[in-house]
Amino acid sequence: MSNNPFSLLADLFYPRLCGGCRRNLYGGENFVCTHCLLDLPFTHYHRMSNNPLERMFRGRIPVDGVTSLLFFNRGGMARQLLHRVKYHGDTQTAVAMGRLLGLALRDSPFGGCSAVVPVPLHPSKQRIRGFNQSSLIAQGVHEETGIPYHDDWLQRVEATESQTRKTREARWDNVATAFSAGASLAGGVGPVLLIDDVLTTGATLEAAARVLLAAGAGVMFATLACSNR
């Protein structure tokens, strides 16, 4: 717990709450308390070559690595935290979780990427929501790793339907032509670390990555969460 009197007063009058158990946060605790942090369902896939996520993309697209920080299970803490971001506008938690992802990736092959690029939202959807959670996560990764952040290398040119409840084939059809290269995309760089919030079938990441690959960039994928495979 911090001994800073101003921090103590802030915690007293404006308590910060754990995103998991909703108890007060103290001192150096960030978006979750120490107890909930230890209970987060980490995948450790960034330490595993040929992990299940990499195998999922094999034969689909030539990526240099795939990882997710947490398992996303119904009723689990990762789902709860991401829902707070997406549906309650908890942008600070998105950045903090991005920093946690960046901390995990920093001393792994993913930490050697030349750029951090978030999967973009269509401008119309971002105006409604007010933020892009993937951009906030990517900013946290950038802050922790120092990898340059570029949110203008990809553009979302189609306002696609929600991917929820779509089959894998329908998801691909929904996003196949949704992305284009930004004018500032640097070809011949790589690998680029492409960031999204949740990996399910991988259709969105694949569609976005094809634009980067076509521009001559190598690609690695990192998301905050994935289904338990």
pTM of the entire predicted model: 0.86
- The domain tally of the chain equals 2
Successive 10-residue mean pLDDT values, the chain, 229 residues: 46 65 79 86 94 96 96 87 88 93 96 96 91 97 97 88 69 79 79 95 93 93 89
Task: Looking at the structure, tell me whether residues 116 and 213 fall in a common domain.
Answer: yes
* Res 171: pLDDT: 72
Task: Looking at the structure, tell me whether residues 28 and 85 fall in a common domain.
Answer: no
The range of the structural domain enclosing residue 138 comes to 42-226
Q: How far apart are alpha carbons 29 and 62 in whole angstroms?
A: 39
Task: Looking at the structure, tell me whether residues 112 and 76 fall in a common domain.
Answer: yes
* Res 161: pLDDT: 65
Task: Looking at the structure, tell me whether residues 87 and 119 fall in a common domain.
Answer: yes
Task: Looking at the structure, tell me whether residues 13 and 66 fall in a common domain.
Answer: no
Task: Looking at the structure, tell me whether residues 10 and 122 fall in a common domain.
Answer: no
Q: What DSSP line would sit under the chain, residue for residue?
A: ----HHHHHHHHHS--B-TTT-PBP-TT--SS-HHHHHHS-B--GGG-TT-HHHHHHTTT---S-EEEEEE--TTSHHHHHHHHHHHH--HHHHHHHHHHHHHHHTTSGGGG-SEEEEPPPPHHHHHHHSS-HHHHHHHHHHHHH-PPB-SSSEEE-S-PPP-TT--HHHHHHHHTTSEEE-TTPPTT---EEEEEEEESS-HHHHHHHHHHHHTT--EEEEEEEE---
Task: Looking at the structure, tell me whether residues 78 and 4 fall in a common domain.
Answer: no
Check which CATH number belongs to the domain holding 210 and give it.
3.40.50
From 172, 160, 169, 168, select the one nearest 204 (Cα to Cα).
172
Task: Looking at the structure, tell me whether residues 158 and 189 fall in a common domain.
Answer: yes
Task: Looking at the structure, tell me whether residues 49 and 33 fall in a common domain.
Answer: no
Task: Looking at the structure, tell me whether residues 27 and 67 fall in a common domain.
Answer: no
* Res 229: pLDDT: 63
